[in-house]
Amino acid sequence: MAGAPTPGIAALVAAGVPHEVVRFEAVADLPESGDVAAEQVFKTLVIALPGELAVAVLPVPAKLSLKAAAAALDAPKATMAEPVVAQRVTGYVVGGISPFGQRRRLRTVVDTSALRWDRVLCSAGRRHWDVAVTPGDLIRLTGAVTADIRVQ
């Protein structure tokens, strides 16, 4: 979409998804505003499954359970994708990978903790830019499955 700052924001606009762009320097800055908890800010990680890449979306403070992510996507195992591969496939730089508007749509799993919130923040497709969306819109627009993918 012409004029959108990132493909992720363009995808939200094209889908008619209400969203708010939030800019910040560090996740630690967000809770200071008082209306965003650290667990409400989600990171987008690209993982490698046998024969394909996929995306895992989970809270920034959490550590990804590769075993749980693989199971959620019906794969025998998962590893972290190489950064150069993640960048090439998504069209985003590492640290700014958005679950929306990726160059190639990848299967996605969103951590179930997203469902606790009215809105979650995830990358808008540029470092230090997030978009606030409802968990339902995140799941619907990415075609995600939900599962508990955090290390316990």
- For residues 41 and 138, give the distance between their C-alpha atoms in angstroms, rounded to a whole number: 13
Superfamily of domain 7-147: YbaK/aminoacyl-tRNA synthetase-associated domain (3.90.960.10)
Whole-angstrom distance, CA of residue 104 vs CA of residue 86: 11
> Could you give the CA distance from residue 56 to residue 44 in angstroms, rounded to a whole number?
6
Exposed/middle/buried for residue 139 (C-beta within 10 Å: 0-12, 13-18, 19+):
buried
Instruction: Write down the domain spans for the chain.
Output: 7-147
Q: What are phi and psi of 118, to 5 degrees?
A: -70, -35
Residues 6+ apart with CB under 8 A from 16: none
Q: What is the pLDDT of residues 116-143, one digit of tens each?
A: 999 999 999 999 999 999 999 999 999 9
Give the pLDDT confidence of 73-123 residue by residue, as tens digits.
999 999 999 999 999 999 999 999 999 999 999 999 999 999 999 999 999
Per-residue pLDDT of 25-53, as tens digits, reads: 766 666 555 678 889 999 999 999 999 99
Residue 1 has pLDDT above 50, yes or no: no
* 3-state secondary structure at position 19: coil
Assigned token pair, 150: 């955090």
